[in-house]
Amino acid sequence: MVTATTTAELLERSVAGDRVAFERLFRPLYDDAFRLAAAMLSDASLAEDAVQEALFKAWRKLHTFRMGEDVRPWFLTIVANQCRSLRRARWWSVQRVAEVDAPSRQDPATADRLDLEAALRRLPRKAQLMLVLRYYLDMSFEDIGAVVGASPTAVKSSTYRALVKLRGEWEPDGDAVAAAD
């Protein structure tokens, strides 16, 4: 990761139109942005498109970035907004189903992971977003607040409620809740 002084220099050069500096600044954020988009859109191809469009928007709007702030939450906010726009625009489209090799049910870890992912997809979009940002991207409550436009306290509460919902979806009989505690 780049240091704070290097980040500031890269930001200044990027705002001045230096594309190489922009690429060096945003390349480390690409994986997190893709994971966020993939979790929000449930489609790798659409996630790639969303991240590319978010990078383009970040390039165009970099002059609006407040110097001294962290670039990561600012960029992930752009990614999340792009994903929301794509979901709204494609409400009428036919969903493609990915071809997936059925995992062996003999591996309990794989089965549990698939059950957890299915339970996560059944949650409301806001709950999914909170859990993905916190546990997939390992973001702080403050950074999540910057992405979703809420206070860290509100984010913490929303994340807790999302976990409770996820536990209910994952194991309705309560076994997962007992095992996780």
- pLDDT tens track for 77-100: 999 999 888 887 765 555 555 565
Q: Is residue 100 part of a domain?
A: no
| Whole-number pLDDT of residue 132 | 87
User: Average of pLDDT values for 108-129?
Assistant: 80
- Residue 35 in contact with residue 132, Cβ under 8 Å? yes
Does the residue 102 lie in any domain?
Answer: no
Quote the number of domains for the chain.
2
pLDDT confidence bin for 126, thresholds 50/70/90? confident
Q: Is the overall model pTM greater than 0.75, yes or no?
A: no
- Cβ neighbors of 31 (< 8 A, separation 6 or more) are none
**Is residue 98 in a domain?**
no
Residue 97 within a domain? no
73 in any annotated domain: yes
Q: Are residues 82 and 120 in the same domain?
A: no
41 and 86 together in one domain: yes
Tokens of 180: 């996780």
Name the residue range of residue 40's domain: 1-90
* Domain contains 99: no
Q: What are the pLDDT digits (tens) for 137-147?
A: 888 999 898 88
Pair (127, 163) in one structural domain: yes
Does 127 lie in the same domain as 83? no
- Check pLDDT > 70 for residue 105: no
Task: Report pLDDT digits (tens) over 20-54.
Answer: 999 999 999 999 999 999 888 888 899 999 999 99
Q: Let me know: does 92 contact 63? Beta carbons within 8 Å.
A: no
Quote the CA–CA distance of 37 and 54 in Å, as a whole number: 10
For residues 67 and 132, state if they share a domain.
no
> What average pLDDT does the structure give for the chain?
81
Q: Which candidate, 43, 68, 55, places its Cα nearest to that of 19? A: 55
pLDDT for 135 equals: 86
**Terminal CA-to-CA distance of the chain, rounded, Å?**
35
pLDDT at 28: 92
Q: What is the CATH classification number for the domain harbouring 78?
A: 1.10.1740.10
Tell me what pLDDT residue 100 has.
Answer: 53
Per-residue model confidence (pLDDT) at position 96: 56
Residues near 113 by beta carbon (within 8 Å), at least 6 away in sequence: none
With respect to residue 95, please indicate whether it lies within any of the assigned structural domains: no
Give the angle 154-158-163 at the CA atoms, nearest 5°: 150
> What are the tens digits of pLDDT across the range 5-29?
488 888 889 888 889 999 999 999 9
Whether the predicted pLDDT of 4 surpasses 50: no
